[in-house]
Structure 1
Amino acid sequence: MAEGSSRPCGGSDDSLEGNPKKKCRRDQTPEDGEQGTLKNCKRMQNELKTILEKSSQKLSQFLPVISQPGAREGILYLRNRLISLKPDILMDPIYIGLFGSTGAGKSTLLNAIIDKNFFLPVSGSSACTSCVVQINTSRSKQHEAKIHLLTDEEWKDELKGLVALVDPSEDSEDNSERSEAALKISAIYGKGAENKSYEELCRMKPIISIPPSRCTIFRETTAEELSDKMCPYIRSPTIAAGEMTEEDRKMQIWPLIKNVEVTLPYSQVIPEGVVFVDIPGTGDFNSKRDEMWKENINKCSVIWVVNSFQRILGEKIHEMLLREGMKAFQSGMCRDISLVATKSDDLNLEEYRWEKKKKNINKHDAILERNEAVKQEKSRMIKKKLEEKLPNDLEVVHKADLVYTVSAREYWQKEILSKEETEIPKLREYVRKFYIKQKRNVLMDHTMEAITIFSLIWSLRANKHAQYQLAKRNHLREIIVQKIADLEKDIKECFLPIEQPLKEGVEEAKKSYKAAIRSILSRNHGYQGYHQTLRAVCLKKGVYASRTFYRIDINSSLAQPIYEKIDMNFGKVFRIQMGTCSTLKTCLDAFKEAMQQKLQEAQIKLMADNEHKLAFLKQETDFIVAEAEKLVLQKKAEIYQSLVVSIQNDLLLCYEEAAAVRGQQAYQRMQTILSNGIMRAVESGMFERAENSMREHLQNMKEQITKKLEEDFSNMLSLAFCPWDQLDGKLPDLQNEFLNINFIHKTLQSATTS
């Protein structure tokens, strides 16, 4: 916006929600309305970018005329703050995770969501996706896929475990873990390599071509061409040795694939900046891929637990996945979770008619009737679990749509259900609305931060007389030091609700750990070779993602009684986004309000001649507290996982000893080693050490918060009360920019409240 304009930036004829008259058109779709909203967001973002660039340029041009050291550093700080405000807010990714077991239909669902049938590999007879796959859109006209491979060190770390699983001295009974390990080794080193030692394999040259960059990139003009190129790399092998096609040989690199990033040209069905993450349901044997598995779950703002309709009606795997997903509320960025039932059109009409005593119902009505019944049943189940684990003030606990029943097949074929009845459009609409809400809030935060900076610049002209400024700064510093000391006490009290449940959880864990051991070590699986699965668990320090037995985690199972006791209060304390009366956010908010009150009182004594200085100090206080809240978000996962990490560390030697067992009755001997080892660890205080570890992490967080606040407020005061005598009458005129940003912020506020 040019300086001196008679109308503030953004104009009064265009609101964030678009032109109301356009909404009345009969042919307008929800996508059109949301596209209008996004267009206005983009316009305001661009206007903000222009204002920030002009303002930082003015400050840069002003720097050469300043010689006073303190003043120069201050102007540099303000200019860099303006530059650091990321202008492309709408490009910051929002992750939506599709989390489900193999064969659940995640890839088929994702193909329908992005409106590209058979883009990701799908199979009617076997599981396909073998790694984490991310899909996003960009303004590029090309379709791109980046195939990231494990480093040599990461692969060799996995190779040790694979060799242990295919030890030739072991019996040759059929076992899925052993078979998969042998398949991985032979895929990389050739037929018969599975019988060689780790040292021999390390000296061998792989039979496949591995790019030095450990990354293969495909760029194609069409989705079909990209799909043909990338699919062999992200599909699990389903062929037996000796029956390979040319495409199968391309697939031989699959054991080395870490993750795949796919970028598609911009499409109206999905906003630019939304990243879909296809997450395997259980993790991975490879330590790095399993670490990425956890990271991907924790960075997702939305998690869809995906499973096929028949499995949801029968198996309980979706409940296990829901529990895993709900952990992201405690330790990650998750704000919403839903169950997505795929293949909702898969119904035997005659059986349904007989079961429901409805001889004349047609398939269309039967599908919709059954879908609604399953929605109600599973919604009650999910709501109950959410209420048990999460604070009542969370929006997800009360939301209407906890379950979606979708049919990707009918989305394309439209033989029985309409597109709307497949609920694919409903999921897209949810994604767009969630995206718009999040981006609008972030845009508001950025405009508020810019206003903070302009407020200070506005107030600088009044900073005269060094001794006077120093006295004012010292007076406020004493107030702030006292308030931070008060906050430290409040944070300590804030953690108290976790203390008693933590103690109770430890006592419960000491009582129930034997049952947890039995459930993992002594269950009758009905499969041969479970001792190899157990060896894999031990090789991976108590955690293993099995395709047959799903995710096995001894450490989490032992810690589960503690988590069941602390989960509710932990959520209340660390639910930074919501702020109930007993959360850590409430402590920080109370501290912020107390600071604002003290600054208001100081206005009378210290800043009666400078309203803008008070406005800056208040707004900068908001910013500093918001930065402290970010610290909480970064650290809460570490605190939450401290119990499991402590237990795992206590049992490392036990796992190593069990993993080394070979020969006859290996399974029974591993059971004994693990049972006795866990028992000794419990008797020596394993759960108490885990309890103390969480307490230490809580104490460290309290100290980090207070230290950060002390440093940030000290910098704020030094800047705000630096004497600017030399600058009087020379500061650049940024009044028009200040007014324009204020207008953008008020427009955003108005749209949000409406």
Structure 2
Amino acid sequence: MDDFVRNKLLEWGLSEWVEKFKDEQIDAESLCELDDREIDNLITKAGPRVKFKKKLKLLKLEQEHEEAAGLVQEEQTSNQETVISFQCEQEHEEVPDVVQVLPSTSDTGKRKSDLQSDASRLQSPAKRQRQSMPGFAESIILSDVKNIMTFVHARLNDQDKLSAFLKKKISDLETDKRELVGVFGKTGAGKSSLINAIIEEKNLLPSGSINACTSVMIKLEANTYSSKYEAEIEFITKEEWNDELWSFHQFFCKNGDHETEDNDDYLDAVEKLSAVYGEEWKQKSSENLMESKYFKAIPEFLQSKRKILTCESANELCAKVVKYTRSDSKQGEGNEGKKWFWPLVKCVTVRVPNNPFLQHVTLVDLPGNGDCNKSRDQMWKGILGNCSTVWIVTEINRAASEKEAWEILESVSSLIGNGGKCQQIHFICTKSDLLDDSDDLSSADVHDLITERNVQATDAIKKEFNKQSKIRKHFTDDSFKVFTVSSKEFLKENYLSPEETEIPKLQRFLQDLNDCHSETVNYVTRAHRILSLIQGAISRGVDSKKGEVCEELERNMSLQLDNVRKEMEDTYTAFKKCLDDGVEKSKCSYGEKLKNFLYDGKNGGAFYNLLKCVVENGGVYKPKKGKPINLNMKLASCLIDSIGAEFRKTFLNEVKCGAFSGVINTFTLNADSLIEEYQNAELQLRFLKTEEEKIEAKLNRIIQKQMKKVYSSLTETVENIMEEGYKKALAFTGEDTLYNMRETIKNHVHSKKDMFEQAKNTMLEKLHDLMVYVLETLEKTMKESIGLSFKAEECLLPDVSTELKMVKKHYDLLVGTPDDEI
């Protein structure tokens, strides 16, 4: 056994197996050739064996990356100095546990060039650009660095402020959330084929004679922990299903046999009950239908657990998961006794192994209008509000005039726009290769016809978008893009090149999202900065000019905070002016809005049933077909419209700009410019730069989350005040019920017309609270960072040179070595 293998085992925390590997004469060459059977014989314990296999995979990947980039291999023996694992302190090399640090001492430590020399063998001789890595490789790196930082955290004492500060920074190391892309599209639009083509998994999502269920959300993510295809099924609660069964029972008892196929509520109830129970639900009580015998195939439902399906192939998983997400369009034709569990499912998360398009992105197949089930509807709203991009999928044939696609986009525009974080809408036209009467045409003619139609469809859709006034209140032309795609042509290339199918454009879009939101890169980068600060504090002090540095930093911070404060004050004034105008318009127009909804020739049983559904659900009703109705939003519409433009200006969803005219993103202590003047403080200043970026990212996440609450507060205030009126209206029975309901709602709004002023005040209060929090958090965080980086008294810090080298190696593997890297 050579030193390379020994050191690798020590680095991986597997020192007890060194002798076994030595006896079997495992060297560097044979190490990477070990198969599973040989590994099982070498390492007989399951825990260490699993750990070894993961580490070996990462080692192979590192070597592949180096070979691909044409890197020069390092001498194997050089690893001995750099790969001693933090988990093996008891080994032969002596490492000082702590070193006394005096921040005010002169520069007696290593300079930047020395630190670079120490780690030079871990770097490539040429600069590297980041390369795409398989998900499980990144997960191994992330796991390793987290373990290293956990070890460093344990070695830091609690005796001084700097150590406590560093411990907190390690504890607060965060990973970014995944980017969400919401996908809408009616059955038959080719949505499943589109997604399959984009992520290059031909048989993952089912299509064809199976109908999409409008209630079940499907999330697609990368499986970064296994090479298997997995589906995690989350059910609604037993109590929720019991409530639905009771509602169905009440509905049937009240309406008897008078329902027809024209009644959507009746058809919806029959479809759900037939899916779960077949024909057995008829003549059964809701209590009978909750008996455990009906759920033998899904015991997890009764146990309030999630069901996990694991398969070797996409095709196998597709066959297993279909009953939880879809309903058979030919139900009743030879499908007797076959159960479909989608009515009981809240969400299905499908995980695809090693998929480069889903590493840090989640595609979410969304129902069009939410759901009558409250938990499914809340999840739908939450996910929708967090989507950074929304795809509207429809067939290219009559795409511009496709009523359902535009209705979906209009109904969700406030949730994804001012009330969410959506940056882009992609209107995706599928089946662009399908032409009528093309059999007698040459390939060149077909190509030209497809290209011409795609151009015409794109122009028509953009013109239609310009007509959508409600949607354009939330989105500009720059945020709306049209794609004309062909999944079939992408695979077969009969008439179009791959690029002309526009599938690669959507793939590049997903890849860009992945590259910008790598949780592993962010974590490793921040961990590297923290370790650099610790080791820099050990190796040298800041010298006598530290007072000058602090004064300069605090002066810059004060000026920057003034800029933030001024922008926020201007924003508050602008919002108040807009809302004052909205209150006056609301008071003048609410009577007409109520009249348009409650009267205007709307009589008879159909409108009575509709109005009853509205008041039963607190002013909101979502029919299975057609536009959702929200009386609360109608009443608040003038207020919402009054702040629409100002809200978009203040809370731009574009990351490159940021909220409050970008004043948070442009906040800076000018640490980069100070490095040239105060070179001895370089490590501390670079750490402060990292702290700037971290707090800016954190505040932007908080602002994105809270701005939704600020925006929705207008409708929520109206909704809360209207609740009493809905309850009174619902209490009426008898011949004049419709008249009494109308008058009750009208009189309640008239008596509570000060609710518009209350809604204004609530929004301004939430906006003020958000501004105060952002300003105070920014000031407190940067003051603390400056103080503890430069003003800390004598303290004890551990030597982390070994850990720094290990993290640096991971860092270089992920992102390369920029010019200014330490």
Q: TM-score range by the shorter chain?
A: 0.7 to 0.9
Cα 1:558–1:142 change in 2 (3 A) is same
Match of 2:408 in 1: 321
Shift of 1:657: 4.0
Does residue 181 (structure 1) correspond to residue 269 (structure 2)? The answer is yes
Q: Aligned to 2:503, which of 424, 434, 455?
A: 424
Shift of 1:156: 4.5
Q: For residues 280 and 755 of structure 2, what CA distance do their matches in structure 1 show?
A: 43
Shift of 1:180: 1.4
Cα 1:320–1:525 change in 2 (3 A) is farther
Does residue 637 (structure 1) correspond to residue 716 (structure 2)? The answer is no
Shift of 1:293: 1.0
Cα 1:109–1:676 change in 2 (3 A) is farther
Structure 1, residues 647-685: CA drift from partner, whole Å, max 9, x if none?
Answer: 11122233334455566676665555444444444xx32
Contact 2:531 2:800 in 1 (8 A): no
Shift of 1:513: 3.8
Query: Secondary structure of 2:628's match?
Result: strand
Does residue 138 (structure 1) correspond to residue 223 (structure 2)? The answer is yes
Cα 1:412–1:721 change in 2 (3 A) is closer
Match of 1:545 in 2: 622
Match of 2:132 in 1: 38
Structure 1, residues 32-58: CA drift from partner, whole Å, max 9, x if none?
Answer: xxxxx3149999998798677657646
Shift of 1:176: 0.4
Match of 2:36 in 1: none
Contact 2:237 2:304 in 1 (8 A): no
Match of 2:585 in 1: 508
Match of 1:24 in 2: none
Q: Aligned to 2:181, which of 96, 107, 121?
A: 96
1:263-274 residue pairs with structure 2 within 5 A?
263-267=351-355, 270-274=357-361
Shift of 1:701: 0.8
Shift of 1:284: 0.6
Q: Aligned to 2:643, which of 553, 558, 566?
A: 566
- Amino acid in structure 2 at the alignment position of 1:508: K
Match of 2:197 in 1: 112
Match of 1:554 in 2: 631
Contact 1:349 1:363 in 2 (8 A): no
Cα 1:41–1:544 change in 2 (3 A) is same
Cα 1:477–1:297 change in 2 (3 A) is same
Match of 1:377 in 2: 460
Does residue 277 (structure 1) correspond to residue 364 (structure 2)? The answer is yes
Query: Secondary structure of 2:581's match?
Result: helix
Does residue 708 (structure 1) correspond to residue 777 (structure 2)? The answer is yes
Q: Where do 5+ consecutive residues of structure 2 fail to align? A: 1-78, 83-116
Match of 2:339 in 1: 250
Q: Where do 5+ consecutive residues of structure 1 fail to align? A: 18-36
Structure 1, residues 476-527: CA drift from partner, whole Å, max 9, x if none?
Answer: 8899789758744542222322222222233333444455445655588999
Q: Aligned to 1:368, which of 451, 463, 466?
A: 451
Q: For residues 513 and 662 of structure 1, what CA distance do their matches in structure 2 show?
A: 27
Q: For residues 811 and 347 of structure 2, what CA distance do their matches in structure 1 show?
A: 43
Match of 1:234 in 2: 325
Q: For residues 180 and 269 of structure 2, what CA distance do their matches in structure 1 show?
A: 32
Q: Aligned to 1:443, which of 512, 521, 526?
A: 521
Query: Secondary structure of 2:366's match?
Result: strand
Cα 1:644–1:373 change in 2 (3 A) is same
Contact 2:209 2:329 in 1 (8 A): no
Shift of 1:337: 1.6
- Amino acid in structure 2 at the alignment position of 1:701: L
Could you say which structure has the larger radius of gyration? 2
Query: Secondary structure of 2:370's match?
Result: coil
Shift of 1:425: 3.5
Which range is displaced more, 477-486 or 210-219?
477-486
Query: Secondary structure of 1:651's match?
Result: helix
Match of 2:206 in 1: 121
Cα 1:562–1:463 change in 2 (3 A) is same
Q: For residues 243 and 148 of structure 2, what CA distance do their matches in structure 1 show?
A: 52
Q: Aligned to 1:688, which of 757, 776, 779?
A: 757
Shift of 1:548: 1.8
Match of 1:727 in 2: 796
Cα 1:220–1:6 change in 2 (3 A) is closer
Does residue 215 (structure 1) correspond to residue 306 (structure 2)? The answer is yes
Structure 1, residues 361-402: CA drift from partner, whole Å, max 9, x if none?
Answer: 95553333222111022234446869954687xxxx437x81
Query: Secondary structure of 2:221's match?
Result: strand
Query: Secondary structure of 1:262's match?
Result: strand
Q: Aligned to 1:260, which of 348, 354, 362?
A: 348
Contact 1:455 1:613 in 2 (8 A): yes
Q: Aligned to 2:164, which of 73, 86, 106?
A: 73
Q: Aligned to 2:727, which of 630, 648, 656?
A: 656
- Amino acid in structure 2 at the alignment position of 1:339: F
Contact 1:453 1:616 in 2 (8 A): no
Q: For residues 165 and 307 of structure 2, what CA distance do their matches in structure 1 show?
A: 46
Q: For residues 500 and 206 of structure 1, what CA distance do their matches in structure 2 show?
A: 62
Bigger proportion of residues as helix = 1
- Amino acid in structure 1 at the alignment position of 2:722: L
Structure 1, residues 589-626: CA drift from partner, whole Å, max 9, x if none?
Answer: 56x34x5599969x99xx99745445544543443344
Structure 1, residues 430-473: CA drift from partner, whole Å, max 9, x if none?
Answer: 32233234449x836862674366236524677799xx999999
- Amino acid in structure 2 at the alignment position of 1:496: T
Query: Secondary structure of 1:629's match?
Result: helix
Cα 1:742–1:194 change in 2 (3 A) is closer
RMSD in angstroms over aligned alpha carbons?
A: 4.9
Q: For residues 312 and 672 of structure 2, what CA distance do their matches in structure 1 show?
A: 61
Query: Secondary structure of 1:508's match?
Result: helix
Shift of 1:292: 1.0
Q: For residues 723 and 101 of structure 1, what CA distance do their matches in structure 2 show?
A: 62
Shift of 1:168: 0.8
Q: For residues 132 and 558 of structure 1, what CA distance do their matches in structure 2 show?
A: 31
Match of 2:25 in 1: none
Alignment: residue pair count: 695
Does residue 584 (structure 1) correspond to residue 660 (structure 2)? The answer is yes
Which range is displaced more, 290-299 or 68-77?
68-77
Shift of 1:281: 1.1
Match of 1:302 in 2: 389
Shift of 1:319: 2.6
Q: Structure 2 length normalisation: TM-score?
A: 0.71
- Amino acid in structure 1 at the alignment position of 2:695: I
Contact 1:287 1:540 in 2 (8 A): no
Q: Structure 1 length normalisation: TM-score?
A: 0.76
Q: For residues 754 and 288 of structure 2, what CA distance do their matches in structure 1 show?
A: 41
Q: For residues 525 and 333 of structure 1, what CA distance do their matches in structure 2 show?
A: 37
Q: For residues 186 and 145 of structure 2, what CA distance do their matches in structure 1 show?
A: 48
Match of 2:55 in 1: none
Contact 2:524 2:811 in 1 (8 A): no
- Amino acid in structure 2 at the alignment position of 1:376: D
Contact 2:417 2:475 in 1 (8 A): no
Q: For residues 362 and 73 of structure 1, what CA distance do their matches in structure 2 show?
A: 72
Shift of 1:12: 4.0
Query: Secondary structure of 1:301's match?
Result: strand
Cα 1:558–1:579 change in 2 (3 A) is farther
Q: For residues 14 and 599 of structure 1, what CA distance do their matches in structure 2 show?
A: 24
